[in-house]
Amino acid sequence: MGAMQQAISSFTVPTRGKRLYEFTDEAARWIAGSGIGSGLLTLFCRHTSASLLITENAAPAVQRDLLAWLDRTVPEGAGFEHDDEGPDDMPAHIRSVLTGTSLQVPVESGRMLLGTWQGLFLAEHRAAPHERQVAAHLVGE
Amino acid sequence: MGAMQQAISSFTVPTRGKRLYEFTDEAARWIAGSGIGSGLLTLFCRHTSASLLITENAAPAVQRDLLAWLDRTVPEGAGFEHDDEGPDDMPAHIRSVLTGTSLQVPVESGRMLLGTWQGLFLAEHRAAPHERQVAAHLVGE
Amino acid sequence: MGAMQQAISSFTVPTRGKRLYEFTDEAARWIAGSGIGSGLLTLFCRHTSASLLITENAAPAVQRDLLAWLDRTVPEGAGFEHDDEGPDDMPAHIRSVLTGTSLQVPVESGRMLLGTWQGLFLAEHRAAPHERQVAAHLVGE
């Protein structure tokens, strides 16, 4: 058993509209180069109108259905008081809270313990292009 | 203060239909045998159609009401594009994203710092039986 | 690089009705005094009718819109079976599950890596006053 250590980094996810953006491979590469073989990965979205989530990464229809459900359930034009930045402003905040700001994934033998179909996604809830920052923390040995 | 260390394990939760399955006791037993008395527990669901959540574990009606609300809010037969595995397929993915893939609980004196009524649950969102895998990570001293 | 260590503490958040209560500053002060300069902060709500979330902390209308959306989407008087403690009992449990029990924030140079507009909030989902307990864990060096 080695001594416990940690690594901290960040990813930039450029977004072009309301979609899911997978970054599983970037996270996997960072872990592989970190010198930490087993431990816990945490990813944190530094924004309140984008979020992080894990869902199926094989069928693109899953992502479309998820986004369509969010569109229906937290609709634009629902009479929100806060609309400083347009009709997608407040729905983006609510959708971010519902889907969450951070992810955790245990790591063993240098690999995330993801299930077969699990991918890591940044969910962009604003229509305009953004450069989203994801902070990453890995603790282990 | 002892040296920091970690432990990694996994639980199997057999499911028989759409319900909550409590696994608080299994987690508590694993912590008790880990040799780590204080730290942070993380639990991770390795699936995209089941999820992990913490809710009241005293009144069974709470679990029924929560599931009924999910049934109404993410209904089967809502015209989802993705239905490869039947009408409960896509609702299961959305319900999993809403309720979340991982849990974290601080640990002190060998026990999770749960509130009086808090229990750890795996939420099964598919009708068919499954063997669900939950990865567990504990860091502490 | 220093040796890894951890700190555990708790905050009390007194609540007076269904609102968001920001505790970003309390968390920041605790980190500053912990002796840990970089690492991972975890916050855990020890209740099933209050939750923790991160959202915009500049415009108060964001908080009102978020709460109003929760009121509409998980309405009181929706015929819940569980109402031992009144009409806000079961909606409080569901809203807590939706918005989440714990938060994680990476820490560097003694500060949380929050985005410009991100604040840490306890969401109170019950009408009556409560003293809410938030457990805090920090691992790092």
Q: Which of A73, A93, A102 sits opposite C66 (nearest CB)?
A: A93
Surface of C (87-106) touching A: CB under 8 A: 98-100, 103-106
**Helical ranges in B12-135 per DSSP H:** 24-32, 60-73, 89-99
Q: Which of A44, A47, A78 sits opposite C106 (nearest CB)?
A: A44
Nearest CA in chain B to C84: B59
- The pLDDT value recorded for residue A1 is 56
How far is the alpha carbon of C68 from chain B, nearest alpha carbon, in Å? 17
Contacts of C6 in chain A (CB under 8 A): none
Tell me if A104 and B5 make a contact (CB, 8 A cut-off): no
Bridge partners, B122 (sequence order)? B21, B52
The residue type found at B119 is G
Give ipTM to 2 decimals.
0.97
pTM: 0.98
Contact with chain B for residue C80, Cβ under 8 A: yes
- The pLDDT value recorded for residue A2 is 77
- Reduced to 3 states (helix: H, G, I; strand: E, B; else coil), residue C52 is strand
- Reduced to 3 states (helix: H, G, I; strand: E, B; else coil), residue B94 is helix
Tell me if B104 and C44 make a contact (CB, 8 A cut-off): yes
Q: Which chains touch C (3 or more CB pairs under 8 A)?
A: A, B
How far is the alpha carbon of C94 from chain B, nearest alpha carbon, in Å? 6
Span C35-82, pLDDT tens digits: 999 999 999 999 999 999 999 999 999 999 999 999 999 999 888 999
Tell me if B137 and A39 make a contact (CB, 8 A cut-off): yes
- The pLDDT value recorded for residue B77 is 85
Task: Report whether pLDDT(C124) > 70.
Answer: yes
Cβ proximity of B138 and B36 under 8 Å: yes
Tell me if B54 and C48 make a contact (CB, 8 A cut-off): yes
Span C89-122, pLDDT tens digits: 999 999 999 999 999 999 999 999 999 999 999 9
Residues of chain B with pLDDT under 70: 1
- The pLDDT value recorded for residue A118 is 98
Nearest CA in chain A to C51: A97
Tokens of A70: 């969010």
Q: Which chains touch B (3 or more CB pairs under 8 A)?
A: A, C
Tell me if B48 and A38 make a contact (CB, 8 A cut-off): no
Give me the sheet containing A5-15, strands edge to edge. A5-15, A130-140, A39-45, A102-108, A111-112
Helix, strand, coil share of chain C (percent; to 5): 25, 40, 35
Residues of chain A with pLDDT under 50: none
Q: Which chains touch A (3 or more CB pairs under 8 A)?
A: B, C
Surface of B (1-60) touching A: CB under 8 A: 3-6, 8, 10, 42, 44, 46-48
Q: How big is chain A, counted in residues?
A: 141
Tokens of C85: 């403690």
How far is the alpha carbon of B94 from chain C, nearest alpha carbon, in Å? 12
